[in-house]
Amino acid sequence: MKLYQYDEDDGSAFREALIDYLKASGKSVPAPLLHGELPEIKLREHGKPYFSGSELGDVFFSRSHTNGCEVACFSGAEIGVDCEDILARKDRKPDFEKVARRYFTGDEQNYIAYGEPGAEERFFEVWTKKEAYMKYTGNGFSEGFQSFSVFDLKDAEIMTERLDGAPHIICSVCSGRGEDSACGVRSDISNG
Domains of the chain: residue spans and CATH: 2-187 (3.90.470.20)
Helix 119-137 crosses helix 96-103 at what angle (to 10 degrees)?
Answer: 40
Distance separating alpha carbons of residues 67 and 188, to the nearest angstrom: 9
**Does residue 186 contact residue 6 with C-beta atoms inside 8 Å?**
yes
Mean pLDDT, residues 137-163: 84
Integer Cα distance of 8 and 142 in angstroms: 33
pLDDT one-digit tens code per residue, 53-66: 777 888 999 988 88
* pTM, to two decimals: 0.84
pLDDT tens, position by position, 9-52? 667 778 888 898 888 888 889 999 999 888 888 998 778 889 98
